[in-house]
């Protein structure tokens, strides 16, 4: 048998070997588990505080079956779990911290290959970032979406219908009792958001990167085939260790290009940009903001899922799932770049390529929108770029000049937005500052500001909104996000004032503050950096080291990897 990395722990016959094996034996493992077989870490983001991942302990048990069957030794371990719904001030603040936890837990332990159990938005990028910095054989098992929400005879989508219902309650179209009743109708099974929000986007991302077995992304959490996938992934990771198929052999430039194009075709979240860029940074692949526009914006939208479309992830699975999208895009993708199977997508999807419902997955010959993807905007208001998802925006607002109504902070927005005296109408542009990586801190999903009540009451459902924050993948609207440099470090956004005019021109990729250069320079000279929100702890370190959105918002010292070597024993 080949000698694996875990033999540096379990293969020793000295005092250290005794220590490494003896305490493990208190769990009742027999002697032959330490005979040099591949040790498989199961990195579990299970937590009852992360409801989207609360079923992952069951999934881990199924992964173990597969590992044992293939002759491996599975060992499950927890890492910090990031839930989108409870964690304040935003789960994004802790993505990099969780990635450090994953990285050090994998490297520091006797692990030869790792299975990442993911679900809620940040649990996927954080674990993949950490694993990439160690570079062992790695496979991802996405936890899967919830079943479709069902409310008063209609399908409702996680997140998407929260925004809609909240606006309906505000304008009196929905009763408060119905609003409360809808809560349990929306979230009625285990799993993550079943819209094409960030969690589904991340699941499609890891499958298109080649980090999962084929068809993994769309399987609902409670479908028995999710367990089949987990079982087979357990078997496969043992083989990957024997083949030394490390994550760096999968995460090539070609794989990243595939992920960008697939994201365009499925109408994935703008959050993909932040996470994919950060993962690329860990594995040493050059990826810049322009790549997303150059590679993705000409790709047609094929998947009809909320928030841009009509259906939900369960429908996507029944229609054939991601392999159908990969097949439709085959002319655009690198179909032979290595995936965790050791083969390319072309070989992986043979026999699994039929769309069972063209209303859900449209053929490339008749797409839903000719050009999907994410547009990258530049201009004096976003020198390093900003992004917008045209498929979730209003076509009539894609070229728009409007008067800025400025909210200096999120608190300012909440205090003023429904004030009847606020000077605003639907032609204005809402500008929100200080919600970027440094400013909030943590770049929360607040960019899709709910419109002012007096505008909503006119029946208007969209306005141009601009911020240095992010937007939930379940949200929609003409929302310009990720403005870089952000306001809190003195980007031009910091000096936009009420009454300034702003020009948005998506076809020409332009975001312009119509104020003279001299005036902008003068305002910048008078601008004062806000006081840091934390003077100690992780948040203080985060503020000092976080990169801007266009670089993926990773901590500067985490970019790259340190490999799987550990130099010293523990005693």
Q: Which residues bind ligand FES (CB under 6 A)?
A: 52, 84-85, 120-121, 158, 192-193, 197, 199
**Taking the complex as a whole, how short is the minimal distance between the CB of residue 470 and ligand FES, in angstroms?**
13
Which of 450, 304, 411, 311 has its CA nearest to residue 363?
Answer: 304
C-alpha distances (whole Å) from 196 to each of 13, 18, 319, 392 are 52, 50, 15, 11
Alpha carbon 228 to its chain's center: 24
Give dist(CA 250, CA 336) in Å, integer: 11
**Taking the complex as a whole, how short is the minimal distance between the CB of residue 149 and ligand FES, in angstroms?**
12
**Taking the complex as a whole, how short is the minimal distance between the CB of residue 85 and ligand FES, in angstroms?**
5
Q: Are strands 479-484 and 375-379 parallel, antiparallel or unpaired?
A: unpaired
Give dist(CA 567, CA 178) in Å, integer: 60
CB nearer to ligand FES: give 97 or 382.
97
**Taking the complex as a whole, how short is the minimal distance between the CB of residue 207 and ligand FES, in angstroms?**
16
**Taking the complex as a whole, how short is the minimal distance between the CB of residue 175 and ligand FES, in angstroms?**
25
CB nearer to ligand FES: give 121 or 500.
121
Q: Are strands 73-78 and 39-44 parallel, antiparallel or unpaired?
A: parallel
**Taking the complex as a whole, how short is the minimal distance between the CB of residue 53 and ligand FES, in angstroms?**
8
CB nearer to ligand FES: give 464 or 479.
479
**Taking the complex as a whole, how short is the minimal distance between the CB of residue 312 and ligand FES, in angstroms?**
13
C-alpha distances (whole Å) from 328 to each of 117, 342, 353 are 28, 22, 9
CB nearer to ligand FES: give 85 or 252.
85
CB nearer to ligand FES: give 121 or 239.
121
CB nearer to ligand FES: give 49 or 415.
49
| Bridge partners (DSSP) listed for residue 268 | none
Scanning the structure block, which residue is given the tokens 């991942």?
53
Please, which residues have CB within 8 angstroms of residue 75's CB and are 6 or more apart in sequence? 39, 40, 41, 42, 109, 111
Structural contact between residues 375 and 388, judged by C-beta atoms closer than 8 angstroms: yes
Please, which residues have CB within 8 angstroms of residue 41's CB and are 6 or more apart in sequence? 75, 76, 77, 105, 106, 109, 111, 113, 114, 115
CB nearer to ligand FES: give 101 or 121.
121
> In a 3-state reduction of DSSP, which class is residue 520?
helix
**Taking the complex as a whole, how short is the minimal distance between the CB of residue 416 and ligand FES, in angstroms?**
28
Q: Which string of DSSP letters, residue by residue, matches 221-272?
A: TTSHHHHHHHHHHHHHHHHHHHHT--HHHHS-HHHHHHHHHHHHHHT--THH
CB nearer to ligand FES: give 199 or 382.
199
CB nearer to ligand FES: give 57 or 510.
57
CB nearer to ligand FES: give 186 or 283.
186
Name the helix (H) or strand (E) containing 220: none
Question: Alpha helices of 144-223 — where are they, by DSSP H?
Answer: 160-170, 176-186, 198-209
**Taking the complex as a whole, how short is the minimal distance between the CB of residue 47 and ligand FES, in angstroms?**
11
> In a 3-state reduction of DSSP, which class is residue 432?
strand
**Taking the complex as a whole, how short is the minimal distance between the CB of residue 52 and ligand FES, in angstroms?**
3
Please, which residues have CB within 8 angstroms of residue 536's CB and are 6 or more apart in sequence? none
Which of 489, 476, 497, 387 has its CA nearest to residue 436?
Answer: 489
Give dist(CA 87, CA 231) in Å, integer: 31
Structural contact between residues 181 and 194, judged by C-beta atoms closer than 8 angstroms: no
Give dist(CA 322, CA 487) in Å, integer: 38
Structural contact between residues 489 and 549, judged by C-beta atoms closer than 8 angstroms: no
**Taking the complex as a whole, how short is the minimal distance between the CB of residue 243 and ligand FES, in angstroms?**
33
Question: Alpha helices of 417-559 — where are they, by DSSP H?
Answer: 453-456, 517-526, 537-545
Taking phi first (over 0 means left), then psi (-120 to 50 degrees means alpha), and beta for anything else, what does residue 109 get?
beta
**Taking the complex as a whole, how short is the minimal distance between the CB of residue 121 and ligand FES, in angstroms?**
5
CB nearer to ligand FES: give 84 or 207.
84
**Taking the complex as a whole, how short is the minimal distance between the CB of residue 192 and ligand FES, in angstroms?**
4
| Bridge partners (DSSP) listed for residue 385 | 484
CB nearer to ligand FES: give 120 or 216.
120
CB nearer to ligand FES: give 86 or 175.
86
**Taking the complex as a whole, how short is the minimal distance between the CB of residue 214 and ligand FES, in angstroms?**
22
CB nearer to ligand FES: give 2 or 86.
86
């Amino acid at each position: 048998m080949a000698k694996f990395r875990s033999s540096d722990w379990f293969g020793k016959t000295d005092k250290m070997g005794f220590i490494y094996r003896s305490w493990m034996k208190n769990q009742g493992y027999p002697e032959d588990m330490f005979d040099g077989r591949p040790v498989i870490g199961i990195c579990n983001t299970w937590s009852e505080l992360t409801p989207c991942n609360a079923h992952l302990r069951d999934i881990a048990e199924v992964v173990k079956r597969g590992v044992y069957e293939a002759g491996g030794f599975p060992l499950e371990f927890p890492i910090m779990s990031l839930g989108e719904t409870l964690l304040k001030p935003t789960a994004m603040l802790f993505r990099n911290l969780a990635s450090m936890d994953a990285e050090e837990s994998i490297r520091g332990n006797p692990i030869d290959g790792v299975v990442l159990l993911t679900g809620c938005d940040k649990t996927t990028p954080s674990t993949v970032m950490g694993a990439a910095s160690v570079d062992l054989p790695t496979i991802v098992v996405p936890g899967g979406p919830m079943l479709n929400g069902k409310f008063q005879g209609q399908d409702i989508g996680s997140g998407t219908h929260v925004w809609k219902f909240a606006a309906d309650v505000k304008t009196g179209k929905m009763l408060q009792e119905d609003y409360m009743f809808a809560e349990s109708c929306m979230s009625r099974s285990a799993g993550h958001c079943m819209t094409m929000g960030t969690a589904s986007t991340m699941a499609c991302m890891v499958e298109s990167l080649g980090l999962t077995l084929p068809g993994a992304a769309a399987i609902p959490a409670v479908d028995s085939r999710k367990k089949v996938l987990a079982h087979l992934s357990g078997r496969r990771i043992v083989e990957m260790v024997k083949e030394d198929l490390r994550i760096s052999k999968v995460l090539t430039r070609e794989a990243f290009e595939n992920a960008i194009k697939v994201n365009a075709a499925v109408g994935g979240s703008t959050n993909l940009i932040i996470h994919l860029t950060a993962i690329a940074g860990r594995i040493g692949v050059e990826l810049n903001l322009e790549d997303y526009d150059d590679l993705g914006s000409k790709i047609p939208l094929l998947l009809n899922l909320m928030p841009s479309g009509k259906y939900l992830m369960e429908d996507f699975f029944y229609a054939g799932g991601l392999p159908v999208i990969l097949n439709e895009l085959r002319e655009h993708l690198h179909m032979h770049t290595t995936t965790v199977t050791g083969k390319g997508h072309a070989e992986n999807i043979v026999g699994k390529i039929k769309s069972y419902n063209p209303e859900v997955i449209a053929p490339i010959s008749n797409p839903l929108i000719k050009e999907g993807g994410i547009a990258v905007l530049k201009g004096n208001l976003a020198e390093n770029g900003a992004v917008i998802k045209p498929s979730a925006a209003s076509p009539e607002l894609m070229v728009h000049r409007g008067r800025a109504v400025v909210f200096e902070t999120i608190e300012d927005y909440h205090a003023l937005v429904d004030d009847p005296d606020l000077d605003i109408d639907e032609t204005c542009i809402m500008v929100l500052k200080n919600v970027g990586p440094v400013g909030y801190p943590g770049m929360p999903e607040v960019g899709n500001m709910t419109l002012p009540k007096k505008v909503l009451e006119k029946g208007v459902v969209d306005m141009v909104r601009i911020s240095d924050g992010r937007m939930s993948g379940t949200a929609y609207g003409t929302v310009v996000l990720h403005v870089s440099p952000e306001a809190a470090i003195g980007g031009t956004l910091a000096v936009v004032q009420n009454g300034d005019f702003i020009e948005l021109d998506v076809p020409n990729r332009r975001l312009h503050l119509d104020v003279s250069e001299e005036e902008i320079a003068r305002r910048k000279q008078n601008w004062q950096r806000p006081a840091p929100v934390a003077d100690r702890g992780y948040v203080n370190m985060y503020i000092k080291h976080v990169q801007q959105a266009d670089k993926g918002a990773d901590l500067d010292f985490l970019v790259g990897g340190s490999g799987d070597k550990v130099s010293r024993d523990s005693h």
